[in-house]
């Protein structure tokens, strides 16, 4: 299969915001407890944080992390997680029918995030609570000193305020399952007032308002319009969520869900522009895609279990085993975020450890990288700079969710500072090799510096505690560059990261 793709140094999409490679972690299942925090584990540090997990997290170079939820946040009392640990109450987590011991709260999480080198992005509870608690939480976290809440933080041993600039105004407030679910207008007004209050505390705060829980919600996309009509001038981002799966066992259709996601982003971009025009507003609102991932392997089974179980503590929940097919999907989805980086400024893989996550960690046992860890890692390491347009001229396919889908999925990033160009390519064809011919106009002296490939695995192959490196990248061959023209072959069902300087 011959594919001609071309790019030009001056045909730019956008400067990519580093936060496109952010993550999300929730008090849910074993994400926090026995995920990042497990006192007594052989790898635990004196504060109870798992060093093995921390190392895998650090290697991802994650810029920002959304915390503490998710559905969890909509009934969370943040004050339960501060002060002496032995005095913290155990509460019922209404979202996941579990027990929350509150042994990790904002101060422990901040300590972990600092060790991991990640900026925090905090969510406030606009479900069971509201503006008053949001401002108290923010004042506790970010005000330097001399007030009730800031002095309380200082009395808890945290003398310096946290530098938190990103604040999420609740979570999935359109969802009837959400504790404190609201109608669009009501939520939009609350979000507007809460954003105003947070920005009164610190004018540099960026506020993220909830969009729909996904693009299949009955109220989508009117929800976005109605919410933004209430709060457009006071918010900076609108959040999108979407989870993916291949329940019908149709690989090409699964991959094409990336096209569907492009349409979702485009539609919300249109809503943003509509509201901006209607309000004659000057400010811009961007997209924060703050929950995305594959979630279907155990979804039904888990939903049955958690609806009936008896409030366990840190239960095994949503521990998806990702396979090679999922890695190819995730690679393509991140390519779509790069191609849409003019609209999508922040995106968070959901989640980070154990719960629908690229990193898994057994209680008392080892931690390992899942298949999807690698495309996420490569994008985070090499996907920073300016996204370039790539024109692809090659065979396409039609399927249930989209027509005219390119078999070859490509994104290109020019890092002007490092003077490198990185191509991220996925050959989605089930059988055929791509014979690639790709002029890179404006890069006449480009030299190949690195080629990593994930290929040759069965679509259902996965990693596990006994075979942690079964599916992993290796050095690639068969691609070269001459006179600014990339040529080579990419075997069927393969992912490539090809870098030039």
Residues that bind ligand AHR (CB under 6 A): 26, 69-71, 171-172, 213, 291, 350-351
Burial label, 471 (beta-carbon count in 10 A; 0-12, 13-18, 19+):
buried
Which tokens in the block code for residue 173? 């407030």
226 tagged catalytic: no
> Which of 78, 67, 38, 71 lies closest to 54 in space, CA to CA?
38
Nearest approach, Cβ of residue 54 and ligand AHR (Å): 21
Catalytic residue among 291, 320, 325, 336: 291
> Between residues 216 and 445, which has the closer beta carbon with respect to ligand AHR?
216
Block residue for tokens 């969520």: 241
Q: Is residue 257 helix, strand or coil? A: helix
Nearest approach, Cβ of residue 294 and ligand AHR (Å): 12
Range 269-272 contact pairs with CB under 8 angstroms and sequence separation of 24 or more? 269/343, 271/221, 271/224, 271/225, 271/228, 272/224, 272/228, 272/238
Nearest approach, Cβ of residue 482 and ligand AHR (Å): 46
> Between residues 171 and 427, which has the closer beta carbon with respect to ligand AHR?
171
172 tagged catalytic: yes
Nearest approach, Cβ of residue 67 and ligand AHR (Å): 12
> Between residues 69 and 488, which has the closer beta carbon with respect to ligand AHR?
69
> Between residues 172 and 336, which has the closer beta carbon with respect to ligand AHR?
172
> Between residues 112 and 295, which has the closer beta carbon with respect to ligand AHR?
295
Block residue for tokens 């096209």: 259
**Which residue has its beta carbon closest to ligand AHR?**
70
Task: List C-alpha distances in Å: 419 to 9, 101, 413, 485.
Answer: 12, 49, 11, 17
Catalytic residue among 79, 108, 172, 325: 172
| Whole-number Å distance between alpha carbons of 303 and 307 | 6
Secondary structure of 323-388 as H, E, C letters: EHHHHHHHHHHHHHHHHCCCCEEEEEEECCECCCCCEEECCCCCEEECCCHHHHHHHHHHCCCEEE
| Whole-number Å distance between alpha carbons of 218 and 223 | 9
Would you call the peptide bond into 70 cis, given omega within 30 degrees of 0 as the criterion?
Answer: yes
Nearest approach, Cβ of residue 32 and ligand AHR (Å): 13
Nearest approach, Cβ of residue 141 and ligand AHR (Å): 21
> Between residues 376 and 495, which has the closer beta carbon with respect to ligand AHR?
376
CA–centroid distance for 435 within its chain: 32
Burial label, 392 (beta-carbon count in 10 A; 0-12, 13-18, 19+):
middle
Residues classed as catalytic: 172, 291
């Amino acid at each position: 299969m011959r594919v001609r793709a071309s790019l030009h140094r001056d045909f730019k999409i956008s400067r990519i915001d580093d936060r496109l490679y952010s993550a999300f972690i929730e008090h849910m299942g074993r994400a926090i407890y026995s995920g990042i925090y497990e006192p007594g584990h052989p790898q635990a540090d004196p504060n109870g944080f798992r060093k093995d997990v921390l190392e895998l997290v650090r290697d991802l170079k994650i810029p920002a992390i959304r915390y503490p939820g998710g559905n969890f946040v909509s009934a969370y009392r943040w004050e339960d997680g501060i002060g002496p640990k032995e005095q913290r109450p155990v509460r019922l987590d209404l979202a996941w029918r579990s027990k929350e011991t509150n042994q990790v709260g904002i101060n422990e999480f901040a300590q972990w995030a600092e060790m991991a080198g990640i900026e925090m992005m905090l969510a406030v509870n606009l479900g069971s609570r509201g503006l008053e608690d949001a401002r108290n939480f923010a004042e506790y976290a970010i005000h330097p000193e001399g007030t009730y809440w800031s002095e309380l933080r200082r009395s808890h041993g945290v003398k310096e305020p946290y530098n938190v600039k990103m604040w999420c105004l609740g979570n999935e407030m359109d969802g009837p399952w959400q504790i404190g679910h609201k109608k669009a207008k009501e939520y939009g007004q609350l979000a507007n007032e809460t954003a105003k209050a947070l920005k009164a505390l610190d004018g540099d705060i960026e506020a993220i308002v909830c969009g729909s829980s996904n693009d299949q919600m009955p109220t989508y996309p009117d929800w976005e319009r109605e919410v933004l009509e209430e709060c457009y001038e006071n918010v900076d981002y609108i959040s999108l969520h979407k989870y993916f799966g291949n329940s019908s066992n149709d690989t090409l259709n699964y991959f094409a869900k990336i096209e569907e996601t492009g349409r979702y982003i485009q539609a919300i971009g249109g809503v943003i522009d509509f509201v901006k025009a209607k309000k004659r507003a000057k400010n811009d609102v961007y997209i924060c895609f703050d929950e995305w991932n594959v979630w279907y392997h155990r979804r039904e089974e888990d939903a049955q279990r958690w609806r009936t179980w008896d409030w366990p503590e840190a239960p095994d929940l949503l521990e998806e085993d990702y396979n090679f097919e999922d890695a190819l999907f995730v690679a393509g989805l991140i390519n779509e975020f790069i191609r849409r980086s003019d609209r999508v400024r922040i995106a968070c893989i959901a989640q980070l450890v154990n719960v629908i996550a690229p990193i898994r960690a057994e209680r008392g046992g080892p931690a390992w990288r899942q298949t999807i860890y690698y495309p996420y890692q490569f994008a985070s390491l090499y996907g920073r700079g300016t996204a370039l347009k790539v024109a692809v001229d090659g065979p396409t396919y039609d399927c249930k969710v989209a027509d005219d889908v390119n078999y070859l999925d490509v994104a290109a990033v020019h890092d002007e500072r490092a003077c490198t160009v990185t191509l991220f390519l996925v050959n989605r064809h089930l059988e055929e090799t791509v014979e690639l011919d790709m002029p890179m106009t404006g890069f006449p002296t480009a030299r190949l510096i690195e080629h990593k490939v994930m290929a040759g695995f069965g679509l259902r192959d996965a990693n596990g505690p006994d075979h942690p490196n079964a599916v992993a990248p290796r050095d690639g061959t068969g691609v070269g560059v001459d006179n600014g023209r990339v040529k080579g072959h990419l075997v069927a069902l393969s992912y490539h990261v090809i870098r030039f300087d």
